[in-house]
């Protein structure tokens, strides 16, 4: 089933195509064949700039959750044999602090439609019945509508494809490693919850690299969006962590 055959979504896709193609046309004197790639970068920066207030809210929510962690652990110890009562007490605590366990998830949810649109725009040969001119653009010779995996299995990979994707994936892996080291969860004394187990902490660290894996399967335009996004996110998190520092927990002693 093609969800973009639904008239409102088809109109949204056509509008997004018109805006991105128009921006690419404006940038052609400056960027030439890479104009569409530059347009994707500018759109990414615009989206991230619009989400700055949400990022601030996310940092505040993270700070609040860290401050509430000792109280939550105390509730877990007190009501560990009564899950229903534990849930009630935890929700009461969140209400009293004017927060929720899901606070801070909006940036991820807000970006999902943007990634979906970019994926679709650079995957379809036609948009609303007319040829998709965005597919004629490339980035240093690598087509914006081709993914690394499809190029490999389709036999269309070129040195430019390997070079461009190699740089983007290397940047994403480097950002993931820095993020893992800088924002590594610290085991807390007295916290025996499953989320704080060594296995869970290792799995959470590995999740940082999933974006790079995902980027190999999407069109280059979407991979470019993801690369700019992870770099912006890291810089923003570092700045906001200094503005909203987390309380220092009592760490587990060896």
- What would the 3-class secondary structure string for 62-75 be? HHHHHHHHHHHHHH
Q: Which of 122, 149, 155 is nearest to 216 (CA)?
A: 149
Question: Which tokens belong to 219?
Answer: 């069109």
Distance CA(215)–CA(128), nearest Å, equals 26
Is the CA virtual torsion 52, 40, 217, 133 positive or negative? positive
Q: Which of 33, 29, 40 is nearest to 142 (CA)?
A: 33
Q: Let me know: does 117 contact 40? Beta carbons within 8 Å.
A: no
Distance CA(94)–CA(22), nearest Å, equals 46
Residue 145 lies in a domain: yes
Residue 248 lies in a domain: no
Q: What angle do CA 19, 21, 26 make, to 5 degrees?
A: 95
Average pLDDT, the chain: 82
Residue 251 lies in a domain: no
Ranges assigned E (strand) in the chain:
126-127, 130-131, 138-139, 142-143
Residue 253 lies in a domain: no
Residue 25 lies in a domain: yes
pLDDT of residue 201: 55
pLDDT of residue 105: 63
Residue 254 lies in a domain: no
pLDDT of residue 252: 47
pLDDT of residue 25: 92
Residue 93 lies in a domain: yes
Residue 17 lies in a domain: yes
Q: Which residue ranges in the chain fall short of pLDDT 70?
A: 1-2, 4, 100-108, 110-111, 185-205, 248-254
Range of the domain at 71: 3-243
Split into its structural domains, the chain has a count of: 1
pLDDT of residue 194: 47
């Amino acid at each position: 089933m093609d969800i973009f055959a639904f008239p409102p979504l088809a109109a949204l896709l056509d509008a997004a195509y018109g805006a991105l193609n128009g921006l690419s046309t404006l940038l052609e004197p400056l960027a030439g064949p890479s104009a569409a790639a530059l347009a994707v970068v500018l759109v990414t920066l615009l989206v991230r700039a619009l989400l700055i207030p949400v990022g601030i809210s996310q940092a505040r929510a993270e700070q609040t959750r860290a401050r509430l962690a000792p109280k939550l652990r105390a509730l877990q110890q007190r009501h560990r044999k009564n899950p229903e009562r534990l849930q009630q007490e935890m929700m009461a605590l969140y209400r009293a602090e004017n927060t929720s366990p899901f606070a801070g998830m909006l940036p991820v949810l807000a970006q999902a439609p943007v990634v979906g649109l970019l994926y679709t725009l650079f995957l379809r040969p036609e948009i609303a019945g007319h040829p998709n001119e965005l597919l004629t653009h490339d980035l240093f010779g690598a087509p914006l509508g081709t993914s690394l995996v499809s190029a490999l299995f389709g036999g269309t990979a070129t040195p430019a494809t390997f070079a461009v994707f190699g740089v983007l994936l290397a940047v994403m892996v480097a950002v993931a490693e820095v993020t893992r080291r800088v924002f590594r969860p610290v085991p807390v004394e007295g916290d025996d919850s499953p989320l704080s187990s060594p296995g869970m902490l290792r799995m959470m660290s590995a999740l940082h690299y999933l974006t790079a894996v995902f980027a190999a399967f999407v069109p280059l335009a979407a991979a470019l969006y993801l690369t700019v996004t992870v770099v912006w996110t890291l810089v923003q998190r570092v700045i906001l962590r200094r503005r909203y520092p987390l309380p220092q927990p009592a760490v587990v002693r060896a």
